[in-house]
Amino acid sequence: MIAKIPIFSHTQRSFVEQLFSLMGKGKLHSAQMYARFLKHGDTDVLCEPQARTLFQEMLEHIDFSLPTLSLLKEEGEIVKFLLKYKDGLESESVVIPMESGITLCISSQVGCQRGCAFCETGRMGLLRNLSAAEIVSQVFFAQFCLKKPVRNIVFMGMGEPLDNFTEVKKAVEVLMDPGGFAFGPRRITISTSGVVDKIYAFIEEMHPGIHLAVSVNAATNKIRNKIMPINKQWDMEKLKEVLLCYSAHPRRSIFAEYVLLEGVNDTFEDAENLARYLQGLRVKVNLIPYNSQSRYPFAAPSFSCQEAFAKCLRERGYQVYFRHPKGREIMAACGQLGKRYSCNFGSN
């Protein structure tokens, strides 16, 4: 039996080519079908009674299957949803309304091998990478099944996206394809804990408009080693080298993500060290007060301490923003994804 073509893994062009190589006809119809499904979410395409024979013949060669929804939780306008794949594993995604429109936070892996000390997903270990089709299906589900007009996509859900570079890159190509979802590069952000060799690959292979977010979280190796094991593989000096290389491109800027942990990385001296570390980079700093969870030995610093930290950076010329926890009650906030696996409840 010939394998069906998974529509979520393809750009319009490669979809049309694949289908043509199987059928030897129907280029125009397959391009239309792709656009109807991925641009407009028109799933009637699957059951049109009046579909012409060619259309029906094409449907037999295409895999349109979506994962099943296994959980959906809402807190105000924040929606967290879990999709279950054929092997029973699940990804978590979060819909977050922002001033600029709806942001969708998606997963690139089930679990994560990087083991950051403050992160729920890190406790799971890595169960497996998601395929490009599984990554894209999270966007399709939010946009067309939940009917959320997604404006921005951030790879900040479960997993280290750059540990799944090939599939993430493929998914980004599908999401940016003008024949389908047509997300502009500036509407996509990929977050990393600092996988240095893959940041070099990102510089070489990804569209320069796509944003890179880096979880810095400390300004010295001593502190970063304690909370982010990846720092023992690529220390802060190696990370700075690649970020300088990234910043050399005039269209590229970096979001430096910094989770504020009381008594760990939140002093005035830490802020000064961070300012020094970021010198020479085209960077905006996102400060994220930690989402306190009872079974972790961390807490968010006081409001005044958060403000003093931000002030120190601003006085040294940095643009600083706070990302305040959203979706805390439904375990959708930063560092909370993956709870479903670790405590049977029911992200860099």
Least CB distance to ligand SF4 at residue 59 (A): 38
Cα gap 189→325, rounded to integer Å = 18
Asked if residue 94 binds ligand SF4 (CB under 6 A), the reply is: no
Structure tokens at 177: 């394809």
- Residue 41, interface with ligand SF4 (CB under 6 A)? no
Residue of 116, 245, 334, 343 marked active site: 334
35: Cβ–Cβ under 8 A, 6 or more apart, which residues?
Answer: 12, 179, 180
The answer to whether 322 and 314 are in contact (CB under 8 A) is no
Q: What are phi and psi of 60, to 5 degrees?
A: -70, -20
Minimal distance in Å, beta carbon 291 to ligand SF4?
Answer: 12
Q: β-strands 211-215, 188-192: how paired?
A: parallel
CA distance 319 to 146: 34
What type of residue sits at position 220? T
Of the listed pieces 35-43, 110-118, 242-250, 268-276, which binds ligand SF4 according to CB under 6 A? 110-118
| Beta carbons within 8 Å of 151's beta carbon, 6+ residues apart | 98, 100, 101, 102, 103, 187
By C-beta, is 115 or 185 nearer to ligand SF4?
115
Q: Does 164 bind ligand SF4 (CB under 6 A)?
A: no
148 is a site residue for ligand SF4 (CB under 6 A):
no
Q: Which two tokens stand for residue 345?
A: 């409840």
* Positions in 293-322 near ligand SF4 (CB under 6 A): none
Tally of CB atoms within 10 A around 170:
20
Nearer to ligand SF4 (CB atom), residue 90 or residue 177: 90
343 catalytic? Reply is no
Answer for which of 121, 129, 143, 152 binds ligand SF4 (CB under 6 A) is 121
Asked if 18 touches ligand SF4 (CB under 6 A), the answer is: no
Pairing of strands 211-215, 254-260: parallel
For residues 41 and 115, which CB has a smaller minimum distance to ligand SF4 in the complex?
A: 115
Stretch that binds ligand SF4, among 1-9, 116-124, 205-213, 302-310 (CB under 6 A): 116-124
116 binding ligand SF4? (CB under 6 A): yes
Minimum distance, C-beta of residue 15 to ligand SF4, in the bound complex (Å): 31
Among 30, 152, 193, 336, binds ligand SF4 (CB under 6 A): 193
* Closer residue to ligand SF4, CB minimum distance, 22 or 126: 126
For residue 244, give the amino acid letter.
L
C-alpha separations of 124 from 203, 331, 339 in Å: 30, 15, 9
> Does residue 161 bind ligand SF4 (CB under 6 A)?
no
Give the residue with the Cβ less far from ligand SF4, 18 or 348.
Answer: 348
For 53, 61, 217, 300, the CA distances from 56, given in Å and listed in that order, are 5, 9, 53, 57
Minimal distance, residue 212 CB to ligand SF4, in Å: 14
Residues within the interface to ligand SF4 (CB under 6 A): 112, 114-116, 119, 121-122, 159-160, 193, 347-348
Q: What residues are annotated to the active site?
A: 334
